[in-house]
């Protein structure tokens, strides 16, 4: 599987473009996540000032699914009325009386396959000294982000543990 990679103080970051989509997948070795979490703004910093280099990569195919109930989170954020049989007012959405939200479930799935990515150039920070082929072999746990190319917003993130 080919893609972009960035060599930063935290390790190599991989950038794989999805077919027919403006989103990218970034991988980061879990060893460096603790460092990132201690320094505010470092995640955005990873994606700036990138330069192109050749890189050898091996990334496993994987599929991760998660499903969580959001009821308690939404109620804690102040959406109490929408979940109340007595207080909810969805008259603009439904002709039925006494309509309220009883449950909210969020399901997310990400699947990485060779057919789901396209080959691209490789990016890395400039390294002084003799040129050698950079390598990212994902034979270890890593963090990944699905990031919108246009806005830069992280829209999905997860951890691959193998």
pLDDT tens figures, 64-93: 888 888 889 999 999 999 989 899 888 888
In contact, 160 and 64? CB cutoff 8 Å: yes
Q: What is the CA radius of gyration of the chain?
A: 21
Q: Which residue has the tokens 């109930």?
A: 69
Return mean pLDDT, the chain.
68
Domain covering 1-61+113-162 assigned CATH 3.30.465.10 in the classification: no
Domain ranges of the chain: 1-61+113-162, 66-109
Locate 77 and state its tokens. 């954020």
Question: 56 or 129, which is more confident?
Answer: 56
Question: 71 to each of 55, 96, 111, 157, how far by Cα in Å?
Answer: 45, 22, 26, 21
Give the pLDDT score at 22: 52
Question: 10 or 40, which is more confident?
Answer: 40
pLDDT tens figures, 103-151: 898 888 777 776 543 333 333 333 344 456 666 677 777 777 777 777 7
């Amino acid at each position: 599987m080919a893609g972009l990679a960035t060599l930063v103080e935290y390790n190599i970051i991989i950038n794989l473009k999805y077919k027919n989509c403006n989103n990218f997948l970034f991988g980061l070795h879990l060893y460096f996540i603790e460092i990132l979490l201690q320094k505010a703004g470092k995640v955005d910093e990873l994606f700036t000032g990138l330069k192109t280099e050749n890189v050898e990569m091996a990334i496993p195919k994987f599929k991760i699914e998660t499903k969580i109930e959001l009821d308690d989170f939404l109620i804690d954020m102040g959406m109490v009325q929408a979940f109340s049989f007595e207080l909810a007012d969805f008259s603009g959405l439904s002709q039925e009386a006494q309509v309220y939200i009883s449950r909210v479930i969020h399901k997310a799935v990400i699947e990485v396959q060779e057919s789901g990515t396209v080959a691209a150039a490789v990016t890395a920070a400039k390294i002084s000294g003799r040129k050698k082929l950079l390598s990212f072999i994902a034979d270890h746990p890593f963090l990944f982000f699905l990031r919108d190319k246009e806005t830069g917003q992280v829209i999905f993130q997860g951890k691959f543990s193998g």
